[in-house]
Structure 1
Amino acid sequence: MHKSNKVLNWWNLMTPVARAVTIALVAPLLVLNAWAISSIFDYFHSLLVILIAASLLTFLLNYPVSFMQAHGATRGRAAIVVFLFTLSIFLGLGVTLVPLAIEQAQQLVLRLPEWFDSGQRQLFLLNDQIESAGFPINLDILAEQITDRLKSSLQGITGEVLNLAVFTVTSLLDLLLTLVLTFYLLQHSDRLWQSLIEWLPTSIRQPFSQTLRLSFQNFFFGQLISATLMGSTLTIIFLVMRVPFGLLFGLTIGTMALVPFGGSVGIAIVTLLVALRDIGVGVEVLIAALIVQQIVENLIAPRVIGSVTGLNPVWVFLAILTGARVGGLLGVVIAVPTAVVVKSALVALRSPTPVIVTPADHAAISQPNTIAEKPEQKAKEIASSQPVES
């Protein structure tokens, strides 16, 4: 009997009181370990951010490198070509779109006070129409409170925009280190990964490696496809609709869509900002963004990448909150695929055989028609397929 089965049987044989005592003893240790890991992460935050960011870039770029290797190119030559091509794309975006987006962001910050005043006037007009219709509702106080809070928040946003140049200078060294580490990881990632998984037991090396790869692959490619389609499509739509700062708003929604639920938050923020200036245009922006979001997330992305995580949306949300608390923005990025790996490990511990469940298996389990047939039905089919003796 496997060790996991022994642990599960031991847990099932325990009385409820014994289980409660065990949980009470183990829970503080888990909390203490989590606090220690968080403290270590905070101390080595800069180094870990560089390492994890370079690892994620290497993971994504490893697919074209492997494709070129399959067609006869050496690992080193393929890594150089892919790295230079990716770097040229980033430089092109940095020269064209990024300066325009930063310029529009600065203009938006300057115009936000006017938009707040416009939003306050629209609330006053709405209040007058409601009072003229005979409804005992007064929005004047609400309008003043909303305007005051938004203006106070504007001061913080303005300070962050003014410090944007300083932030860019201080992060330049980290960016260069990340690019250099990515370049070397692309050339030697296969041998490095093999040396790492050799520390694991032989029986779970391949299942763990496959589960980890599929979890991150499905998540990142799914989010990347959704974010790219949403960002590019909404940018074009906003420019056609002549929405103020359409390029900035489209890129903002697309960037936030890289994180689960980020696209919805971005749509809400953009709609609120546009509605401050003109509530009619805000409604049009909301309708267009929701239509594009539903098409991308429910029709296009699932057909291209299939099931992304296999996690319940509640667990996805909790994983994002935990990742944000522990690792900030980088924790948000890796929270969901990490949660998928943890769930697969827990499912493997409960199963009678030590098999790690992949995200594709989670998706199959959620669809009853794709599961193996019932034993009775299978037995009938086998019996019907046997030749009848005369």
Structure 2
Amino acid sequence: MNEREGRKKNSWFWRWFLNNQVVTALLIVLLILLILIAFTKVSYLFEPIWQFIGVVSLPIVLAGIFYYLLNPAVDFLEKKGLKRVYGIILLFLIVVGLIVWGVVVIVPKIQEQSMSFANNFPDYMNTVDEKAREILRDPIFAQFQTQIENYSDKLMATLTDFIQNFSKSTISSVGKIVSAVANVVVAIMTFPFILFFLLKDGRRLAPYMVRILPNRWRKPTLTVIDEMNEQVSSYIRGQLTVALAVAILFIIGFSIIGLDYAVTLGIVAGVLNMIPYLGSFLAMIPAIFLGIVAGPVMLIKVIVVFVIEQTIEGRVVSPLVLGSQLSIHPVTILLVLLTSGKLFGLLGVVFGIPIYAAGKVLLTHLFDWYKRESRYYYDEEEANEDIPPES
């Protein structure tokens, strides 16, 4: 019997298939894919679950964002001797006061400037068109005038078709718009309650969740959850703080140079700044457009404001607030933004980076576990011994 087992273990089938970790891993992947295919065949059974997730996801996301913003303040007040519940109520009152102030002061200003921009937009387009034609009359551009006019006509036709199609789709999907507005209203009404209990009992949530795991998995799982929570919280707090600073800088800068719609442009810049690397440049498009309309002097002033804002943000604000907490290469961030934006649209662009940061923590710990358990990795000293010396 022992000889038979020895011959079996020395056979090529045993070495290359039965006792091969790569083959085992591939079989596990194959089984997972087969399970996913089986789930797709009975996906209708999970439709109520997806509808439930769609309803509760927005208030949970809003509560999570405000939790990361307010939790440090609640912890600070608790350390100063104020009971946690009283600290939460105090912060809720402050936030409600800020919201009321914004609705009374900021929202009417934004509405006024937006309506003014919409009413003056045809005149702005005519001004830009006239200035473009003046440039084309220059002898330098005369040879390209026909091609540029053709491209301009095609662009205007494309924009017209887009506006018409958008209007038709908007009218035809009034029911979807009403449903989306209802979901937003429900989310706004329910997320404060979720936020309250998150701030009150959030510290006990992770230890409670890992109680269903085996004892030897609980501590590593808590470590992973804590690191993921730290990455996401640092990113969200940092990005919102930088966005607020960017909005203030642009509002001050545009107000100083006398650019129209300074408040609205600054707030739009702050919101778009939550898109890393691309937000500020996107926010400058309407400002440059208005600078072209106002004349070359105003255009130069807008560019100067942009350069000053980028310098302050890049040299002062971002290093102080964000630092290098995520340790993600800029090229990786751009790739994540492009991929998540293509797959999930605006939500993917906004939440792609924190999800990637959390996933990176999880994959790093899984890879470390695999290195400890696998025979394919060993100590660095042993690895150096296997490398032949240089001749």
After TM superposition, the score normalised by the length of structure 1 is 0.73
Q: Which residue of 1 aligns with 2:363?
A: 346
Amino acid at match of 1:127: L
The unaligned stretches of length 5 or more in structure 2 are 1-17, 373-379, 382-391
Amino acid at match of 1:317: L
Q: Which residue of 1 aligns with 2:283?
A: 267
- Higher mean alpha-carbon deviation, 238-247 vs 187-196, is at 187-196
SS at match of 1:307: coil
The unaligned stretches of length 5 or more in structure 1 are 1-9, 356-373, 376-390
Amino acid at match of 2:144: I
Distance 1:122 1:343, change over 3 A: same
Q: Take 2:334 and 2:270, find their aligned partners in 1: how far apart are those partners?
A: 19
Shift of 1:255: 1.1
Q: Which residue of 2 aligns with 1:208?
A: 224
| Structure possessing the higher relative contact order (Cα contacts under 8 Å, 6 or more residues apart) | 1
Shift of 1:81: 0.9
Q: Is the 8 A contact 2:239 2:322 kept in 1?
A: no
Q: Which residue of 1 aligns with 2:116?
A: 107
Q: Is the 8 A contact 1:50 1:177 kept in 2?
A: yes
Matched, 1:316 2:333: yes
Q: Take 2:37 and 2:80, find their aligned partners in 1: how far apart are those partners?
A: 50
Matched, 1:73 2:82: yes
> What's the % identity of the aligned pairs?
19
Q: Take 2:288 and 2:153, find their aligned partners in 1: how far apart are those partners?
A: 16
Q: Take 2:101 and 2:371, find their aligned partners in 1: how far apart are those partners?
A: 48
Deviations 1:258-295 (A, max 9, x none): 23234234334324532552462344323422431232
Q: Take 1:144 and 1:170, find their aligned partners in 2: how far apart are those partners?
A: 41
Q: Which residue of 1 aligns with 2:66?
A: 57
> Which of structures 1 and 2 has the bigger CA Rg?
2
Q: Take 2:266 and 2:163, find their aligned partners in 1: how far apart are those partners?
A: 21
Q: Which residue of 2 aligns with 1:194?
A: 207
After TM superposition, the score normalised by the length of structure 2 is 0.73
Q: Which residue of 1 aligns with 2:14?
A: none
Matched, 1:178 2:178: no
Distance 1:80 1:145, change over 3 A: same
Q: Take 2:194 and 2:116, find their aligned partners in 1: how far apart are those partners?
A: 36
Shift of 1:312: 2.5
Matched, 1:94 2:103: yes
Q: Is the 8 A contact 1:348 1:354 kept in 2?
A: no
Matched, 1:223 2:270: no
- Higher mean alpha-carbon deviation, 119-128 vs 140-149, is at 140-149
Aligned length: 341
Deviations 1:232-255 (A, max 9, x none): 011111111111211111110011
Shift of 1:296: 0.6
Q: Take 1:289 and 1:125, find their aligned partners in 2: how far apart are those partners?
A: 26
Shift of 1:309: 1.8
Distance 1:170 1:194, change over 3 A: closer
Amino acid at match of 2:261: F
Amino acid at match of 2:229: R
Q: Which residue of 1 aligns with 2:144?
A: 137
Distance 1:26 1:194, change over 3 A: closer
- Higher mean alpha-carbon deviation, 206-215 vs 169-178, is at 169-178
Shift of 1:67: 0.7
Q: Where do residues 328-367 of structure 1 align in structure 2 (5 Å cutoff)?
A: 329-351=346-368
Amino acid at match of 2:119: L
Distance 1:293 1:46, change over 3 A: farther
Q: Take 1:104 and 1:290, find their aligned partners in 2: how far apart are those partners?
A: 24
SS at match of 2:137: helix
Deviations 1:346-380 (A, max 9, x none): 2222336999xxxxxxxxxxxxxxxxxx99xxxxx
Q: Take 2:352 and 2:32, find their aligned partners in 1: how far apart are those partners?
A: 24
SS at match of 1:141: helix
Amino acid at match of 1:121: E
Amino acid at match of 1:243: L
Q: Is the 8 A contact 1:127 1:140 kept in 2?
A: no
Deviations 1:93-137 (A, max 9, x none): 1221122112211221222222122221111111101xx237621
